[in-house]
């Protein structure tokens, strides 16, 4: 079935959020055109949109690649997330009545993924929490911005070998939801700031990225089947 360029964009972002597309991965136009059943022109349009969103870049005569954020870009991405997400929690007090229940259900999904040890699902769910939170406030612009920023910080975590405890991240998410349920938006904003800082502090931004990190993860004895 033919899919539109925005579907290609969504697929690329989802694959990054799920840890399936790593920094530096080449995205060949011909192969993508075959996968999605569209022309290379349509694929190129989608790639150009992703380039403007900071997700891919083009290399002359080599094609499109998933970005490999520098340490400076990594810090900027986390700083942007702190400003946006804490500001959102401090300023927008318009969560609908069922939003907390939906967020709690999402946290339960995170915990199930942690228990089963499915790394891809866990990675995707932990990133999606922030996107779902923005969506709950009903602001489509914030949701789109955070989706792209979360994809970029997911790439950063893969590139700079984050040692952040996934269970601790999920606990932070649960704490944020509890504070929102209590109507403590300022408290939720403080915890969100601490949470994002902890994730950033788990990165080794002073180290050179490991170009074999993806292969090491796939071939490690503990890698999921």
Flag whether 192 is in a domain: yes
pTM recorded for the entire structure: 0.82
One domain, residues 50 and 88: no
Decide: residue 154, CB within 10 A, 0-12 exposed, 13-18 middle, 19+ buried: buried
Flag whether 220 is in a domain: no
Helix (H, G, I), strand (E, B) or coil at 204: coil
Contacting residues for 45 by C-beta, under 8 A, at least 6 apart: 5
Number of domains composing the chain: 2
Please, are residues 4 and 43 in contact by the beta-carbon 8 Å criterion? no
pLDDT at 102 over 70: yes
Q: What is the CATH number of the domain that holds 130?
A: 1.20.120.530
One domain, residues 17 and 118: no
Flag whether 209 is in a domain: no
Q: What is the mean pLDDT of the chain?
A: 88
Flag whether 45 is in a domain: yes
Flag whether 223 is in a domain: no
Cβ neighbours around 29 below 10 Å, total: 17
Flag whether 187 is in a domain: yes
- The mean pLDDT of 39-45, rounded to a whole number, is 95
One domain, residues 62 and 164: no
pLDDT at 1 over 50: no
Instruction: Encode pLDDT of 132-146 as tens digits.
Output: 999 999 999 999 999
One domain, residues 81 and 46: no
One domain, residues 53 and 86: no
Would the CA dihedral through 124, 125, 130, 132 be positive or negative?
Answer: positive
**91 confidence band (pLDDT: 50, 70, 90):** very high
What are the Cα distances from residue 122, in Å, to 63, 65, 93, 115? 31, 24, 29, 10
One domain, residues 110 and 49: no
Q: Which residue range is the domain that position 81 belongs to?
A: 71-201
One domain, residues 121 and 10: no
Distance (Å, whole) CA 93 – CA 169? 23
């Amino acid at each position: 079935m033919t899919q539109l360029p925005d579907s290609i964009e969504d697929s690329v972002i989802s694959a990054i959020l799920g840890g399936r597309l790593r920094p530096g991965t080449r995205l060949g136009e011909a192969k993508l055109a075959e996968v999605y059943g569209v022309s290379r022109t349509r694929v190129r349009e989608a790639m150009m949109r992703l380039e403007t969103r900071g997700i891919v870049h083009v290399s002359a005569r080599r094609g499109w690649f998933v970005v490999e954020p520098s340490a400076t870009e990594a810090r900027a991405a986390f700083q942007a997330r702190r400003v946006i997400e804490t500001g959102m929690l401090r300023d927008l007090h318009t969560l609908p009545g069922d939003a907390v229940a939906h967020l709690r259900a999402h946290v339960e999904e995170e915990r199930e993924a942690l228990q089963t040890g499915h790394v891809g699902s866990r990675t995707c769910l932990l990133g999606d929490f922030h996107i779902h939170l923005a969506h709950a406030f009903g602001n489509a612009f914030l949701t789109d911005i955070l989706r792209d920023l979360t994809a970029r910080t997911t790439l950063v975590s893969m590139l700079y070998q984050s040692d952040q405890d996934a269970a601790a991240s999920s606990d932070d998410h649960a704490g944020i939801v509890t504070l929102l349920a209590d109507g403590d938006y300022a408290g939720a904003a403080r915890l969100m700031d601490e949470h994002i800082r902890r994730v950033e502090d788990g990165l080794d931004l002073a180290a050179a990225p490991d170009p074999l990190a993806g292969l090491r993860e796939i071939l490690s004895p503990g890698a999921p089947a």
